[in-house]
Structure 1
Amino acid sequence: MCFLCLAAACSRHEGQNGFDACPVDSLRGEKVALADSVWMRYPYRVRVSGPVAVVFDLNTDSCFCHLFTYPGFRFIASFAPKGEGPEEVVSASMARFIDKEHFGVLDMSGRKLLVYDGLRPHSVPRLCRTVSFEEPVSLPLEFLPLPDSTMLIPDYLGEARFCIVGSDGRLLKKTGVITLADTVALRKNAPGIGETTIPDNMVCC
């Protein structure tokens, strides 16, 4: 009797939380051998756009990004060199395609976004412009390009969750205000309260 009551309680608890209605799917993958060897210390993310793929090396000694053909993964070129020069990256925290023709590498320490073009199977990526962020854009760790040529950047140290930044790096507005009655506590604990991340599949309208 005790066993039956316990089993009934467990099944009722799962149904109340909706676990039985959660969709279940399985992931499948296959190993792809690189046609050419490229030295990478910490390959962190792979971005794909049409016939090319970019492997982002989070902890590199030389270049943060490596361009390959897709799906064959034949090496084309490395770009976004590490360094402290005007066309170099001090510490990259995020790299993604802005559109089909342009690729952005976010330099957290340099507070800038380096935009490259020429990401094609038979060309070498070229730095076409650099966007320097204004001081009110605090701690740029991630970015998401929006359809109107602006960018969405999480605000980890402010009183809102996101910054909307223009293509020139100028802060346009902050959105997602964190509402707390105790403003002193808000300013003191903003890094913890405002922490959020941008998912790769996020769609903004």
Structure 2
Amino acid sequence: MRNLIGLFFLSVALAACTSAPRNEVLSYTDFPRTLELKGRTLPLDTALFRYPFRIRVQGDRAVVLDLHGEDCFCHAFSYPAFCPLSSFGRRGEAPGEQLSAENVRWSGDGLWILDSNKSELIRFGCALSGDSLSRQESVNLDKDILRALDFVAMDDSTFIIPDYSGDSRFCLVNRQGSLLHKLGGIPSSNEDALKNARPALAQAWRSFIDYNSRNGVLAAVTQFGEVLEIYHLKDSTRTVYIGPHGEPEFKISQGYGIPTSIMGFSDVQVTDSAIYAVFHGRSFKEMAQNARQGIHVDGGQYIYVFSLKGEPLCSYVLDHFVNGISVDEQQGIILATDVNKDEPVIEYRPLHRLFR
């Protein structure tokens, strides 16, 4: 009953976020503070990775998601020592194996993995020894959910998944994979695309999301362009912040939205006191020029920090190019994944007062 009541209020809150009086569209041009950070490479004593994309920490365990894992998509380590524990999420087409892994999320004592190619969510639970994770259940997603590319667990009975049909912004999905509601709208000023090319617009507005159940903040950052959306589910408001690079720009080719502006954000985390997002900021033209010169660098060199209301607080300039982050405000630590390095986990320790 408690979960049903929670779902009801979430539905009301997200539905209210679409009403004009409760929406705010704001812009930012800069950050009041810019700090350079020097990272420490953590020796993992392993050559497991091909494309370490995400890192998630809970308690004394850390899991790194390898987007292009050869045998397994996920690797568990002790934390903070980072001693290898086990590999799981075996790659393959057989039952119990995965075709892809888009993201991983801790939820309670388990870890969920999204396999977009099989359109399912898989839960792994910890063994009695605590050193390994084993597959415990899988959830087949509703056929009306168009290629799920990210997810968050709202609670133990509901998932939030971005909607790429163009009809809305998010899908609410129950533990059985059934679509409950489609909520919100793409906050684009492109009226022609909203009217005539919603699927292409949704592809251009692909976003990475995170949700913090303690403060009720759902954040979405665009992979292209520079847009941050914040949904405050406790007071039913939505704020959209547009940065200097603007909305995602795109052209339509054979019905698909092809981005034409910049690589934007690649990860976001909502903590108890702030929103942290990895930002790239390189144009496709610049990346093409670098490729012709034999320069191949993947990732963003910035971590942007916003208040829970979306106000810019600080820009960190990194000495590595990273894709994923895990923020521990209590310890004043940011862990990041650098796909360009053989030892891909980097530890940053920003000035502690920014976490207070």
Contact 1:117 1:127 in 2 (8 A): yes
Match of 1:39 in 2: 48
What is the 5 A alignment of 1:20-169? 22-34=32-44, 36-99=45-108, 101-118=109-126, 122-147=130-155, 149-169=157-177
User: Within 2, Cα distance between the matches of 1:25 and 1:200?
Assistant: 24
CA spacing shift, 1:132–1:163, aligned 2, 3 Å: same
Task: Tell me by how many angstroms 1:124 deviates.
Answer: 1.6
Deviations 1:45-75 (CA, angstroms, capped at 9, x unpaired): 1111010000100001100000000010000
Task: Tell me by how many angstroms 1:198 deviates.
Answer: 3.1
Which structure shows the higher strand fraction?
Answer: 2
Contact 1:111 1:132 in 2 (8 A): yes
Secondary structure, in 3 states, of the residue corresponding to 1:152? strand
CA spacing shift, 1:75–1:196, aligned 2, 3 Å: same
Deviations 1:109-137 (CA, angstroms, capped at 9, x unpaired): 10001100107874320111100001111
User: Within 1, Cα distance between the matches of 2:165 and 2:117?
Assistant: 15
Task: Tell me by how many angstroms 1:149 deviates.
Answer: 2.5
User: Within 1, Cα distance between the matches of 2:126 and 2:37?
Assistant: 33
User: Within 2, Cα distance between the matches of 1:179 and 1:52?
Assistant: 37
Contact 1:161 1:175 in 2 (8 A): yes
User: Within 2, Cα distance between the matches of 1:110 and 1:188?
Assistant: 26
Higher relative contact order (CA 8 A, sep 6+): 2
Task: Tell me by how many angstroms 1:175 deviates.
Answer: 0.3
Query: What letter matches 2:64 in structure 1?
Result: V
Structure 2 stretches lacking a partner, 5+ long: 1-27, 219-232, 234-356
User: Within 2, Cα distance between the matches of 1:73 and 1:120?
Assistant: 20
Deviations 1:121-180 (CA, angstroms, capped at 9, x unpaired): 743201111000011111111001103621110011230011000011000000013599
User: Within 1, Cα distance between the matches of 2:92 and 2:202?
Assistant: 33
User: Within 1, Cα distance between the matches of 2:127 and 2:101?
Assistant: 19
User: Within 1, Cα distance between the matches of 2:140 and 2:121?
Assistant: 6
Task: Tell me by how many angstroms 1:30 deviates.
Answer: 1.4
Contact 2:167 2:198 in 1 (8 A): no
User: Within 1, Cα distance between the matches of 2:165 and 2:200?
Assistant: 5
User: Within 1, Cα distance between the matches of 2:156 and 2:122?
Assistant: 19
Deviations 1:8-34 (CA, angstroms, capped at 9, x unpaired): xxxxxxxxx774x72334434211111
The number of aligned residues is 186
Match of 2:13 in 1: none
User: Within 2, Cα distance between the matches of 1:86 and 1:187?
Assistant: 40
| Structure with the greater alpha carbon radius of gyration | 1
TM-score, normalised by the number of residues in structure 2: 0.47
CA spacing shift, 1:179–1:65, aligned 2, 3 Å: closer
| Identity in percent | 32
CA spacing shift, 1:84–1:53, aligned 2, 3 Å: same
Query: What letter matches 2:123 in structure 1?
Result: V
Secondary structure, in 3 states, of the residue corresponding to 2:139? strand
Task: Tell me by how many angstroms 1:85 deviates.
Answer: 1.8
CA spacing shift, 1:174–1:119, aligned 2, 3 Å: farther
CA spacing shift, 1:141–1:122, aligned 2, 3 Å: same
User: Within 2, Cα distance between the matches of 1:41 and 1:121?
Assistant: 28
CA spacing shift, 1:54–1:37, aligned 2, 3 Å: same
User: Within 1, Cα distance between the matches of 2:198 and 2:112?
Assistant: 31
Over the aligned positions, Cα root-mean-square deviation in angstroms equals 2.8
User: Within 2, Cα distance between the matches of 1:50 and 1:200?
Assistant: 19
